[in-house]
């Protein structure tokens, strides 16, 4: 027994130390790699435009270690919804396709646009860049994201004031939510036209177009309406036409949660364009064909009239609420 204590045990201790010393680089690399790939991500509080709403397609998350494609979608939504300009998270080693899935999402403007449709307009992606985000992907699993936002701080301040002024003008005491939405719907349409001649190419796709310059495309109408819905505390998101091909012209409109159901609200089609040759004889229209209607009603309206409307073909996978 004394022999074991004096000779065998020290021998194994020396042998173990030798093994550790011979493999110190591999062991340290393994530890470092583990630490690098699974560090704790501390997220800052979101900005004033953060929405607490979760949707079926995307949800807010406080877990920034993704284990699936949907987890990455939720991380992107959370980054955008919080208004983060820069954000870093890490792919865990057990999620083998993580960096590949990040690359697929970050390089797909259509997917990024879908995510953007669920956040406040002031936290939405800019479409001025080749990609709405700059995403750096490293072999270590580190993912760095820089977001390009649509609205400048000056535009946000100006639009906030405009929205508040309009609400003071059109909202009356004891109005129902539906009446409030109608009042805003009417105001936007009565004070703007569809920008058929691209008079304001830098603004017609934003709320600045209809609210500041009186001209808009469908994106401008939709963002303007969304700003009012947010101010009124009414749950909403934007619905985009399902992508078919590069030659297909897209469309976007509002979805509104009212009286415990999701309804469509399309100001663009409620403000039809008069195509009379004489511009001075053109009339301004205000319609309610697309005012707070169900999907079945939307399909019915689209099929009525001389022209069948195909603008409202949306993906049920992205918008199952509808």
State the average pLDDT for the chain: 87
| Contact by Cβ (8 Å): 128, 148 | yes
| Contact by Cβ (8 Å): 292, 274 | no
Q: What is the pLDDT of residue 228?
A: 98
pLDDT above 50 (res 4): no
CATH class of 153-303: alpha beta
Q: Is 193 helix (H, G, I), strand (E, B) or coil?
A: strand
**Which among 191, 238, 245, 242 is positioned nearest to 218, based on CA atoms?**
238
Spell out the residues 6+ positions from residue 77 whose beta carbon is closer than 8 angstroms to its own: 58, 59, 60, 61, 115, 118, 119
Give the DSSP letter string of 30-75: HHHHHHHHSPPP-PPPP-TT------SS----S--S--SHHHHHHH
Spell out the residues 6+ positions from residue 308 whose beta carbon is closer than 8 angstroms to its own: 302
| Contact by Cβ (8 Å): 134, 157 | no
Comparing 8-12, 138-142, 156-160, the range with the smallest average pLDDT is 8-12
Q: What is the pLDDT of residue 261?
A: 97
Q: Beta-carbon neighbour count of residue 2 at 10 Å? A: 6
Comparing 21-35, 47-61, 74-88, the range with the smallest average pLDDT is 21-35
CA-to-CA distance for 284 and 275, rounded, in angstroms?
A: 11
- The residues spanned by each domain of the chain are 36-150, 153-303
Q: What is the pLDDT of residue 129?
A: 57
Q: What is the pLDDT of residue 32?
A: 44
> Higher confidence at residue 306 or residue 44?
44
Express each pLDDT in 10-50 by its tens digit: 555 454 554 544 554 444 444 444 444 556 677 789 999 99
Q: What is the pLDDT of residue 44?
A: 87
CA-to-CA distance for 108 and 111, rounded, in angstroms?
A: 6
Pair type for strands 86-90 and 133-137:
unpaired
Q: What is the pLDDT of residue 16?
A: 53
CA-to-CA distance for 13 and 15, rounded, in angstroms?
A: 5
Q: Categorize the per-residue pLDDT at 133 as very low, low, confident or very high, splitting at 50, 70 and 90.
A: confident
Comparing 3-12, 59-68, 159-168, the range with the smallest average pLDDT is 3-12
- pTM for this structure? 0.85
CA-to-CA distance for 138 and 141, rounded, in angstroms?
A: 5
Q: What is the pLDDT of residue 191?
A: 97
Q: Which residues is 172 bridged to in the sheet? A: none
**Which among 119, 111, 72 is positioned nearest to 315, based on CA atoms?**
111
The share of the chain scoring above pLDDT 70, in percent, equals: 80
Q: Kind and range of the H or E element at 189?
A: helix 177-190
Beta strands in 73-186 (DSSP E): 86-90, 133-137, 142-147
> Higher confidence at residue 171 or residue 128?
171
Spell out the residues 6+ positions from residue 177 whose beta carbon is closer than 8 angstroms to its own: 232, 234, 258
From residue 6, alpha-carbon distances to 17, 18, 19 in Å are 17, 19, 21
How far does Cα 236 stand from its chain's mean position? 12
| Contact by Cβ (8 Å): 301, 289 | yes
Q: What is the pLDDT of residue 281?
A: 47
């Amino acid at each position: 027994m004394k022999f074991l204590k004096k000779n065998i045990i020290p021998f194994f201790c020396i042998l173990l130390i030798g093994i550790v010393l011979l493999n110190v680089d591999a062991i340290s690399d393994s530890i470092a790699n583990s630490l690098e790939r699974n560090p704790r991500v501390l997220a800052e509080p979101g900005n004033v435009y953060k929405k607490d709403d979760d949707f079926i397609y995307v949800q807010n998350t406080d877990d920034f270690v993704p284990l699936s494609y949907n987890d990455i979608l939720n991380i992107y939504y959370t980054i955008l919804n919080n208004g983060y300009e820069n954000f870093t998270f890490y792919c865990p080693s057990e999620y083998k396709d993580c960096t590949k899935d990040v690359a697929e999402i970050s390089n797909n403007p259509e997917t990024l646009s879908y995510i953007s449709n669920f956040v406040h307009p002031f936290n939405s992606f800019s479409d001025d860049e080749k990609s709405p985000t700059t995403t750096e992907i490293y072999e270590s699993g580190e993912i760095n994201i820089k977001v390009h936002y649509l609205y400048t701080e000056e535009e946000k301040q100006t639009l906030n004031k405009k929205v508040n002024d309009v609400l003071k003008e059109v909202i009356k005491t004891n109005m129902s939510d539906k009446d409030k939405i109608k009042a805003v719907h009417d105001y936007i349409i009565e004070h703007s036209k569809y920008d058929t001649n691209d008079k304001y190419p830098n603004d017609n796709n934003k709320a600045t177009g209809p609210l500041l310059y009186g001209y808009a495309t469908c994106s401008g109408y939709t963002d303007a309406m969304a700003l009012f819905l947010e101010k009124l505390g009414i749950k909403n998101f934007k619905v985009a036409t399902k992508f078919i091909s590069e030659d297909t012209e897209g469309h976007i409109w509002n979805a509104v949660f009212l009286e415990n159901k999701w309804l469509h609200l399309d100001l663009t089609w409620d403000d039809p364009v008069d195509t009379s040759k004489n511009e001075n004889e053109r009339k301004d229209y205000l319609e309610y064909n697309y005012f707070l209607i169900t999907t079945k009603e939307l399909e019915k309206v689209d099929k009525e009239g001389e022209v069948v409307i195909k603008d409202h073909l949306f993906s049920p996978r992205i918008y199952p609420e509808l």
